[in-house]
Amino acid sequence: MVDFKTVFKDSVFYKNILTLLKGSVLAQFIPLIISPIITRLYSPRELGVLALFSSLSVILGSIVNGRYEQALVLVKSEDEARHLTILSLLISFVMSLLFLIVFILFKPFLLGFFNEPDLGYWIYCIPLVVFSIGVYNTLNYYELRKKNFISISKSEVYRSASFASIQLTFPYLKSGLVGLIMGKIISSIVAPFYLWKTSKFEVGKVNFSMLTILAKKYIDFPKFTNFSILLNNLSINTINLLIPTLYSTTLLGLYSLMYKVLAAPFAFLGNSINQVFLEEAVRQKNDTAEAFDLTKRMVLQLSLLSFLFFGVAYFIVEDLFAFIFGEEWKMSGLYAKYLIPFFMFKFIASPLTSIHTAFEKQKLSFTLQLIMFVISMGAILYAYIYSCSFEQYLLLFSVLMSIFYIFRIAIILRISKNKIA
């Protein structure tokens, strides 16, 4: 029997979640509410090109700063936090520059591989977006360390609002794809610029010896967490890179809309819970009983929300897509039905994966992400070898990933009980 009085205790913890949640909900609500307009202003193919551009940015952005920013919640002194922030920003700049060089050298090959010439010179803008992601991630954790949840919340809203306003404006200038890509670029700059102003971060005098010491001390973040997150993003976004090659960019547009809608509940709640859960888990990790109680309560709450939302969605999603986004997008609703089981369990597990950082289980996190990557790539390889339809691939992927996330939930609970070395 679930004791709901204990499930919803700890008012400070939930107040912090609510603060981040307000911004996260509004930030995700803006693109969702304008989606019925966007799907009538842009074609599935144009949205497919945007999805390709965004996927490349997200994959590279996931490794651009070595994930040193996550260590900001672990350091004790303010001077160490300042130098760790500088280290993360410096790595972001160097990595983004390297990515630009790669795109310049291999542009013809990349455009040919993705079978999308319209990506064209826009490919050179990806490193700028990637650098902006690195700066945003760093300042986000810097503000999280100081518990400035309101600043983090507002930054997400400003990013989303700027993207939406540009998307809605450019079609009337008959610019087509330009509006989508420019919206992505400008909005990626707006959020870190706002956090830079509100955080009042000052570089000050840099002690390069301390940068080296901190880089070595938290080397597990680039060694394991960095590649763990890369594998996670590859598992999710590789299909976006391969759909244009194996199928078409138009199909990618249909798929990307479906994924954005299904991922909305995680975007509304997941990121907010993840950040506050990390801060709270770090505080409670030396008290196994408290840490396990917190984690168990979160699993129960997320399970209730997930089964309720996705259970209802399964029966109405196909017709709902056609009604809201137009008949041209009805296939997106069909694709959604195949992936609902996967999203149901992902919604429960993903917000709690920061427990690996709190308990310094980066190696385990890397192993789990490697398993997920192998599953994802295995499903794609199977679909390619046996010439599966896109629907058959989605069904296979959904079943395998659902099993994986059930297993991951069990692992998260065992970590909270400190039963995994």
What pLDDT sits at residue 5?
A: 45
pLDDT exceeds 60 at position 394: yes
What's the pLDDT tens digit per position in 7-40?
445 566 666 667 666 666 777 788 888 889 988 8
Cα 253 to its chain centre, rounded Å, is 19
Average pLDDT of the chain to the nearest whole number: 85
Task: State mean pLDDT over 230-240.
Answer: 83
Task: State mean pLDDT over 137-149.
Answer: 86
Say how far apart CA 85 and CA 195 lie, in whole Å. 13
What's the pLDDT tens digit per position in 283-341?
766 666 777 888 888 889 889 988 998 999 899 998 899 999 988 888 999 999 999 99
Contacts with 177 (C-beta within 8 Å, 6 or more apart), sequence order: 42, 46, 49, 50, 118
Q: Which of 310, 301, 361, 268 is nearest to 32 (CA)?
A: 268
Contacts with 264 (C-beta within 8 Å, 6 or more apart), sequence order: 28, 32
Contact 368, 354 (CB under 8 A): no
What pLDDT sits at residue 397?
A: 93
pLDDT exceeds 70 at position 419: no
What is the phi-psi region of residue 201: left when phi exceeds 0, alpha when psi lies from -120 to 50, beta otherwise? Answer: beta
What's the pLDDT tens digit per position in 61-115?
989 988 888 888 888 788 888 999 999 999 999 999 999 999 999 999 998 888 8
Task: State mean pLDDT over 128-138.
Answer: 94
Tokens of 271: 């990121």
Q: How much is the pTM?
A: 0.77
Q: Which of 13, 8, 15, 20 is nearest to 270 (CA)?
A: 20
What's the pLDDT tens digit per position in 214-225?
889 888 888 877
From residue 387, give the alpha-carbon distance in Å to each of 92, 310, 370: 40, 30, 25
Q: Which of 14, 52, 33, 46 is nearest to 239 (CA)?
A: 52
pLDDT exceeds 80 at position 404: yes
Half-sphere exposure of 400 (CA within 13 A, CB side): 18
